[in-house]
Homo-oligomer: A and B are copies of this chain.
Amino acid sequence: MVNETQHTCSASSSSKSDGGSSSGSESSKDSSRCSTPVLDADRHERLREKMRRRQDSGDKWFSLEFFPPRTANAAVNLISRFDRMGAGGPLFIDVTWHPAGDPGSDKETSSMIIANTAVNYCGLETILHMTCCNQTRDDITRHLQKAKRLGLKNIMALRGDPVGEEWEEEVDGFNYAVDLVKHIRNEFDDYFDICVAGYPTGHPEAESYEEDLKYLKEKVFAGADFIITQLFFRSETFFKFMKDCQAIGITCPIIPGIFPIQGYHSLRQLVKLSKLQVPQEIKDVIEPIKDNDAAIRNYGVELAVSMCRELLDSGMVHGLHFYTLNREVATTEVLKRLGIWKEDPRRPLPWAVSAHPKRRVEDVRPIFWASRPKSYIYRTQEWDDFPNGRWGNSSSPAFGELKDYYLFYLKSKSPREELLKMWGEELTCEESVFEVFTSYITGEPNKNGYKVTCMPWNDDPLATETNLLKEQLEKVNRRGILTINSQPNINGKPSTDPVVGWGPSGGYVFQKAYLEFFTSSEIVTALLKVLKKYESRVNYHIVNVKGQNITNAPDLQPNAVTWGIFPGREIIQPTVVDPVSFLSWKDEAFALWIEQWAKLYEEESPSRMIIQYIHDNYYLVNLVDNDFPLENCLWQVVDDTFELLN
The chain A residues found within 8 Å of chain B, CB to CB, are 16-31, 33-35, 37-38, 388-389, 391-395, 491-492, 505-508, 510, 528, 535-537, 539, 546-560, 563, 565-571, 573, 576, 583, 624, 626-629
A219 to B557, CA, bound (A): 39
Q: How many copies does the complex hold?
A: 2
A388 to B35, CA, bound (A): 7
- Complex Cα gap A508–B560 (Å): 13
Give Cα A137–Cα B83 distance, bound, in whole angstroms: 72
Quick one: which of B28, B391, B394, B505 contacts A26, CB cutoff 8 A?
B394
| Pairwise interchain contact B565-A570, C-beta atoms closer than 8 A | no
Q: List, sorted by A's number, 15 A–B pairs whose CB atoms are closer than 8 Å.
A: A21-B550, A24-B548, A26-B394, A26-B549, A31-B555, A492-B629, A505-B536, A506-B627, A552-B568, A558-B569, A559-B567, A559-B568, A566-B626, A568-B624, A570-B573
Main secondary structure, interface of A, reads loop
Q: Which of B391, B394, B528, B571 contacts A30 (CB 8 A)?
A: B394
A-B CB proximity, top 7 nearest: A567-B626, A25-B547, A539-B568, A571-B573, A559-B568, A560-B570, A21-B550
A555 to chain B, nearest CB (A): 6
A26 touches B506 (CB 8 A): no
For A510, the chain B residues whose CB sits under 8 A away are 565
Contacts of A551 on B, CB cut-off 8 Å? 21-22
Residues of B within 8 A of A29 (CB): 394, 555-556
User: Once the chains bind, are B25 and A548 in contact (CB under 8 Å)?
Assistant: yes
Name which residue of chain B comes closest to A546, CB basis. Answer: B25
Alpha-carbon distance A510/B25, docked complex (angstroms): 33
Measured between alpha carbons, how far is A29 from B557 in the docked complex, in Å? Answer: 11
In the docked arrangement, what's the CA distance between A556 and B391, Å?
26
Q: How many angstroms from the CA of A38 to the CA of B553 in the assembled complex?
A: 13
- Give every chain B residue within 8 A of A624 (Cβ-Cβ): 568
Q: Shortest beta-carbon distance, A199 to chain B, in Å? A: 41
Residues of B within 8 A of A28 (CB): 394
How far is the CB of A410 from the nearest CB of chain B, in Å?
24
Q: Contacts of A537 on B, CB cut-off 8 Å? A: 506, 567
B548 touches A23 (CB 8 A): yes
Please, how many angstroms separate the alpha-carbon atoms of A153 and B536 in the complex? 33
The chain B residue with its CB closest to the CB of A492 is B629
CB distance from A513 to the nearest CB of B (A): 13
Closest-CB distance, A508 to chain B (whole angstroms)? 7
Closest B residue to A29 by CB, please name it: B556
Given contacts A26-B547, A37-B557, 16 further A-B contacts (CB under 8 A): A19-B554, A21-B551, A24-B548, A26-B394, A27-B556, A29-B555, A29-B556, A31-B392, A38-B554, A38-B555, A492-B629, A510-B565, A553-B568, A559-B568, A560-B565, A563-B571
**Minimal beta-carbon separation of A320 from chain B (angstroms):** 30
- CB atoms of B388 and A557 under 8 A apart: no
Closest to A494 in B: B629
CB closest residue in chain B, given A553: B568
Complex Cα gap A624–B539 (Å): 34
Closest chain-B Cβ to A81's Cβ sits at a distance in Å of 35
- Nearest to A586 among chain B residues (CB) is B26
- Residue of A537, A555, A628, A629 with most partner-chain B CB within 10 A: A555
Q: Which residues of B contact A560 (CB under 8 A)?
A: 565, 569-571
| Bound-state Cα–Cα, A391 to B464, Å | 37
Q: Which residues of B are found within 8 Å of A394, using beta-carbon distances?
A: 26-31
Instruction: Indicate whether A559 sits within 8 Å of B570 (C-beta atoms), given known contacts A23-B548, A506-B537, A537-B506.
Output: yes
Nearest Cβ in chain B — how far from A385, in angstroms? 10
Rounded to whole angstroms, the CA-CA distance of A459 and B119 in the bound complex is 56
Alpha-carbon distance between A19 and B550 when the two chains are bound, in angstroms: 11
A319 nearest CB across to chain B (Å): 25
CA distance A290 to B391 in the complex (A): 64
Minimum CB–CB distance for A95 against chain B, Å: 33
In the assembled complex, the CB of A25 is this many whole angstroms from the nearest CB of chain B, namely: 4
Cβ contacts under 8 Å, A573 to chain B: 570-571
- Asked whether A25 lies within 8 Å of B565 as measured between CB atoms, the reply is no
In the complex, what distance in Å separates the CA atom of A22 from the CA atom of B555?
A: 10
Given A568-B626, A571-B563: A26 in contact with B583 (beta carbons within 8 A): yes
Shortest distance in angstroms between A71's beta carbon and chain B's nearest beta carbon?
40
Cα of A537 to Cα of B552 in the assembled complex, Å: 40
Chain B nearest CB: distance from A537 CB in Å?
Answer: 7
Bound Cα distance A239, B550 (Å): 43
Q: Is the CB of A34 within 8 A of B506?
A: no
Residue pair A626, B19 in contact (C-beta under 8 Å): no
CB distance from A383 to the nearest CB of B (A): 14
Q: Given A393-B33, A508-B629, A549-B26, do A557 and B570 touch, yes or no (CB 8 Å)?
A: yes
- Closest residue of B by beta carbon distance from A564: B571
- Report whether B21 and A628 are in contact in the complex, using a CB–CB cutoff of 8 Å: no
Query: Which residues in B have their C-beta under 8 angstroms from that of A391?
Result: 35, 570
A34 and B388 form a contact (CB under 8 A): yes
- Contact (Cβ within 8 A) B17 A554: yes
Bound together, the chains give a CA A9 to CA B434 distance in angstroms of 53
CB-based contact B558/A570 at 8 Å = yes
When distances are taken between beta carbons in the complex, the residues of chain B under 8 Å from A565 are 510, 560, 563, 628
Residues in B with CB closer than 8 Å to A571 are: 560, 563, 571, 573
Q: Which residue of B lies closest to A584 (CB)?
A: B26
CB distance from A420 to the nearest CB of B (A): 35
Contact in complex: A19, B555 (CB < 8 Å): no
Q: In whole angstroms, what is the CA distance A559 to B507 when docked?
A: 12
| A16, chain B: closest CB distance, angstroms | 7
Q: How far is the CB of A83 from chain B (nearest CB, A)?
A: 30
Q: Which of A23, A29, A31 has the most CB of B within 10 A?
A: A31
Q: A327 to chain B: closest CB distance in Å?
A: 40
